[in-house]
Structure 1
Amino acid sequence: MAYFVPGDNFENAGGKAEEIVWKRVKEAFNARNVLGYSKYPFYKSMGGKRREPDIILLDQNEGLVVFEVKGYTINQIEKIEPNNWYLRDCYEKTVNPINQVNDYVYSIISAKFEVEGNLRGKVKGRGLVVLPYISCKEWEDKGFAEITTNWPIIFKDDLTKQRLLYLLLNMDLLKIGQSLTREEFILAQSILGHEGVHVEDEDSFLPEGTKGRVLNDLKTQMLQIDLQQEGIGKSIAPGPQRIRGIAGSGKTLLLCQKAAYMHLKYPEWKIVYTFYTRSLYDIVTRTIDMYLKAFSNGEVCYDPNSNLQVMHAWGGKHKPGLYSSVANENFIKPLTVEDCKKEFKGFVSMGTQINYISKILLENLNGNLKRIYDVILIDEGQDLIAPPEQLYKGQHSFYFMAYHSLKQHDVEGKKIRRLVWAYDELQNLDNNIIPSWKEIIGDDEVLGKGAVYKGGIKKSEVMKKCYRVPHEILPIAHALGMGWFRKDGMLTGYTRKDQWEDIGYKVEGDFRKDNSEIILTRNREDSINLLSDIYNGSVIEFEQFNSNND
């Protein structure tokens, strides 16, 4: 099966050329067992800048293939020597793309595959330079063909499905290897996707059957790459993006991965990762640090003084939060927990409080906020939803504040903002309504129509797979929490087939008919935590008590 991960929407310098090649590569390799990336996050320092390979493929039979795309016209190349290309009318005067792509091949294989005993010496490697704006004839007429005989260069007229695949398969290998078995290919995909960074060192001396050994085996079992997560975590949408799904589906990991990827690619961007639960501070900073190191081959770690900021949604006395930072930037004194206690005179949720203070801020400024940030990523978004009385202009006040604190940027002639928000479905049983896009970002017409942005990145993602909770336990938890078998009817929960399917259930029956029997079955493929397969003990235990004293 072929799966391709678009890193961005090709809006940057050189993006048009890369988009042409990306489309042709996908066409050529679509029928093969391959995992492909545009702008794969493996950053190397070159000439004082951090750069990533334009396109890479991991093919089960052909190993690693790296494409370096150069959008030059023939008139921009003045002269070619074995170790240098001399350019005119370009921001670089000399380049060496052959060495550049070869360096990526050797570095990725060395850093990713050679350190894994089961793959050492097995993964093949090739590097190609692609010139989508130059034909073979133009190259020959300029006299370059004599110098570059047998160089791994692909020209404009080579970018057809059959010819591109033929040329690649017949080019010399930089790294000798072999075709990978199914198990080796799965392992190589997981390593390329940085899945291994999630797992701490295993203790191989733990006895078989013990809970410690089962935990290690469970971690190893879940290492197999999740292709949907790859597509979400290693892509940068040009505008707003919603990530919703069942609790335990890995949304926090994805947002941390996105934050690290964006920071390495655009270190000048001001990026905020914000959340509801204060205890997430350490988890988020450690996870972002882990991804920064993985993506940069150890060159970059998390720096709290950098442009990537981890902030609580509100903030505190000693740590700024998103709300308090926005208030201070707009010369408004932030409200505190004590202010909310005086207002509500009793307990209310923090979600209500933070929307209350956000609404006050917006009213004081008539909704006109200073544009401070380039990207805001909101985790635990389900806990930051406003009650009706705390909406601002029909929108959830905290989200309105976040969205309007973002800088606008040009995408195809439109002004657009990058807000990414993730939330758990059915996490709050008293509120299972999914907020509409209008309630989050308003009537923003810049998004256009359709479910995807240019380049193939989805505007909304639904994550069905649950990693945290074992297959047998999740339906029981939902049944107890929602009162599925309550005599007077279910207390709360979804009442549409598509809603249950979105969180990984198979539905039999019709919700539209009164007193209709509904059968919900948890899809096995959407429950990755298969504890019962590797643990001999009981996964579920029931105890009955006849009285409170028992």
Structure 2
Amino acid sequence: MSNQSRKFITTEPIDKSGEAAEELVWQAVHCAFTSRECLGYWRYPIFSKVGKYRKEPDILIADAQLGLIVIEIKAVTIDQILAITGHRWEFQNFYTTSSNPYQQAENQLFALLGYCDREPSLRRRVHGRALVCLPLITEEQWYHKGFYQLPSCPPIIFQDQLHRQSKRIPELQLNNSLLKLIEKTTPIIKGYRLSSEQWKLLQAVISGTPVFRKQRPVNPIVPQNQQTRGSVLVQVRQHLSEFDLQQEHIGKEIPPGAQRIRGIAGSGKTVLLCQKAAHMHLKHPDWDIALVFFSRSLYHQIIKQLDKWLRRFSGGEVGYDPKQSKLRPLHAWGAKSQPGFYSTICRAAGVKRLNVNDTQSKQPNEALAEVCMQLLREATIPQLYHAILIDEGQDLIVDDYLKFEGKQPFYWLAYQALRVVSASQPEQRRL
């Protein structure tokens, strides 16, 4: 993936039926903004309440000059729109009978601008635009229907700005057409041109790094030797975590299959996994998700991180509730007073769970591997989860003599406990 392409983050593959029009819009945004200093997101995780469900914006663009742009896509034909009254659109022969696309985009934009306003140097300085995109409707069709005369008609991107109707229209001109339309759209919130430092801060805010920023001490102690390892760590802790594009892909994307995250101790892997788990849970509240870890001391830290990310992605409306949630932080083994991953599988399989005293191994990871091997031999493993995220994965690996049929026992148990993602690719699981 090129550096230009990496700034466009597709949080979940666009492969569902009926999303061809949405993909067309996303590709058009790629082309129009590829040479600009920006970030683009397909389904950025800021979930607003829409009826019984929560929905994220279809497209979010953070641009160094244009600020924040939210685009809500409605892949309807002109004949499917029955009426538009105020912000309410009524449909026929569509998956829903009504919608408020512009109001929804506005609400999501305001939520994001609210996070910007928490940073003094960004407060009321970021432009904000909201648009509705109709990829199956031309501007001419819209005019013939008379919708352009409506007083509440929002800024609209039509099919004309997305792809060429004639070979005589150069692609560069087409891309400029979309960009110029967005530039000419009157901002809902009028901001200012951002400095390079403000742009860096805006990227950090969009990535969510203020969620885990620690409060600065009133009188920070800075070592005299500015080049020592300790002094560098002190300076790092005193500043907002800088935006990291690679971590943004890891934290925001929900892959269709297995994914491995590497990093040294203290590099933020736990935070990224909590972010990813919270995103999955809000996007797919019906999914059973396990966030597994090896150190019991991590339990409360992970609960705290999950709560922070859920609130961040829901505009403060959703927190972590262990009694209600289908998102479960689980210690790899478990205890009498607290269910763990292994003990949960045992219970579901109808097998008595073992403890350390039932094994020959002295090391905790080896003892866990032993009981996992026995469970794999004795029982059919039930497919309990849609996704399993494993932290401290290196602590769950054992030497070759403890492997189960050449595989790492704990990881093979986790794989077996996952539901199939696609019937056409039964080997694919979200691990």
TM-score using structure 1 length: 0.71
Q: Which residue of 2 aligns with 1:321?
A: 340
- The residue matched to 2:426 in structure 1 has which SS? strand
Is 2:67 aligned against 1:56? no
Q: Which residue of 1 aligns with 2:159?
A: 156
Q: How many residues align?
A: 411
Amino acid at match of 1:384: L
Amino acid at match of 1:265: K
Q: Distance in 1 between matches of 2:80 and 2:238?
A: 51
Q: Distance in 2 between matches of 1:360 and 1:215?
A: 45
Q: Which residue of 1 aligns with 2:200?
A: 186
Q: Which residue of 1 aligns with 2:166?
A: none
Amino acid at match of 1:415: P
Contact 1:43 1:296 in 2 (8 A): yes
1:144 is displaced (CA, Å) by 2.8
Greater displacement, 12-21 / 311-320: 12-21
Q: Distance in 1 between matches of 2:143 and 2:425?
A: 41
Is 2:219 aligned against 1:238? no
- Judged with a 3 Å threshold, the aligned counterparts in structure 2 of structure 1 residues 65 and 315 are, in CA distance, closer, same or farther, namely same
Is 2:283 aligned against 1:271? no
Q: Deviations over 1:269-302 (max 9, x none)?
A: 1000001111111121111111111111211111
Q: Distance in 1 between matches of 2:258 and 2:355?
A: 29
1:293 pairs, out of 311, 325, 333, with 311
Greater displacement, 4-13 / 184-193: 4-13
Q: Distance in 2 between matches of 1:149 and 1:326?
A: 55
The within-5 A match list for 1:117-136 is 117-136=120-139
2:82 pairs, out of 78, 81, 96, with 78
Pair member with larger Rg: 1
Is 2:118 aligned against 1:115? yes
Q: Distance in 1 between matches of 2:218 and 2:407?
A: 52
Q: Which residue of 2 aligns with 1:167?
A: 181
Q: Which residue of 1 aligns with 2:399?
A: 387
- Judged with a 3 Å threshold, the aligned counterparts in structure 2 of structure 1 residues 209 and 105 are, in CA distance, closer, same or farther, namely same
Amino acid at match of 1:27: C
Q: Distance in 2 between matches of 1:416 and 1:142?
A: 50
1:416 is displaced (CA, Å) by 5.5
1:258 pairs, out of 264, 273, 276, with 276
Amino acid at match of 1:390: L
Percent identity at matched positions? 38
The within-5 A match list for 1:7-46 is 7-12=11-16, 15-46=19-50
1:59 is displaced (CA, Å) by 0.6
Is 2:357 aligned against 1:307? no
1:144 pairs, out of 144, 147, 152, with 147
Q: CA RMSD in A?
A: 2.3
1:208 is displaced (CA, Å) by 6.2
- The residue matched to 1:179 in structure 2 has which SS? coil
Q: Distance in 2 between matches of 1:66 and 1:242?
A: 31
The within-5 A match list for 1:522-541 is none
Q: Which residue of 2 aligns with 1:415?
A: 426
Q: Deviations over 1:221-278 (max 9, x none)?
A: 4511111111110110011111123333221111111011111111111000001111
Q: Distance in 2 between matches of 1:399 and 1:205?
A: 46
Q: Which residue of 2 aligns with 1:493?
A: none
1:85 is displaced (CA, Å) by 1.3
1:207 is displaced (CA, Å) by 6.2
Amino acid at match of 1:122: R
User: Structure 1 stretches of 5 or more lacking a match?
Assistant: 421-550
Q: Which structure is higher in helix share?
A: 2
1:331 pairs, out of 326, 331, 350, with 350
Contact 2:311 2:318 in 1 (8 A): yes
1:73 is displaced (CA, Å) by 2.3
Contact 2:67 2:128 in 1 (8 A): yes
1:283 pairs, out of 297, 301, 308, with 301
1:414 is displaced (CA, Å) by 3.1
- The residue matched to 1:245 in structure 2 has which SS? coil
TM-score using structure 2 length: 0.89
Q: Distance in 2 between matches of 1:378 and 1:246?
A: 15
Q: Deviations over 1:68-107 (max 9, x none)?
A: 0112122321222333211012232111212221222223
